[in-house]
Amino acid sequence: MDDIYGLWGQKGNYGEPWLELASNGQAAGSDGCNRISGTFEVHEGHISFGPILSTLMYCQGVQTWLGAASSAEINDGQLEIFDLAGQSIGVLKR
């Protein structure tokens, strides 16, 4: 499951989310406006996020779905993000 680590999305594009997953279980990124950070664990190909901390800036027109991440899976080379209810809320590509 080493292929989960690294950058998902593209840093530096306003309004575009990105997430970096480190091998030590730390997650950091942006929902396109606010910086986010937290922890994650991997169990049998399933990624579970701990509480996600976020700055609270208002950014008009930016969808901030990444801050609601509860879990994720790699599907077809993409990181699919799910909320607490298990609903798919977004996808990040390499």
- Measure the CA–CA gap between 64 and 42, rounded to whole angstroms: 24
| pLDDT over 70 (residue 76) | yes
**CATH 3.40.1280.10 correct for 2-92:** no
pLDDT on residue 2: 57
pLDDT on residue 1: 54
The 10s digit of each residue's pLDDT in 26-46 is 999 999 999 999 999 999 889
- Measure the CA–CA gap between 67 and 64, rounded to whole angstroms: 6
Average pLDDT over residues 73-77: 92
- Measure the CA–CA gap between 27 and 11, rounded to whole angstroms: 14
46, HSE (Cβ side, Cα atoms, 13 Å): 7
Pairing of β 53-54 and β 35-43: antiparallel
Closest by CA to 94, choosing from 15, 1, 21, 14, is 21
Q: Where are the domains of the chain?
A: 2-92
The 10s digit of each residue's pLDDT in 40-68 is 999 988 999 999 999 988 888 778 889 89
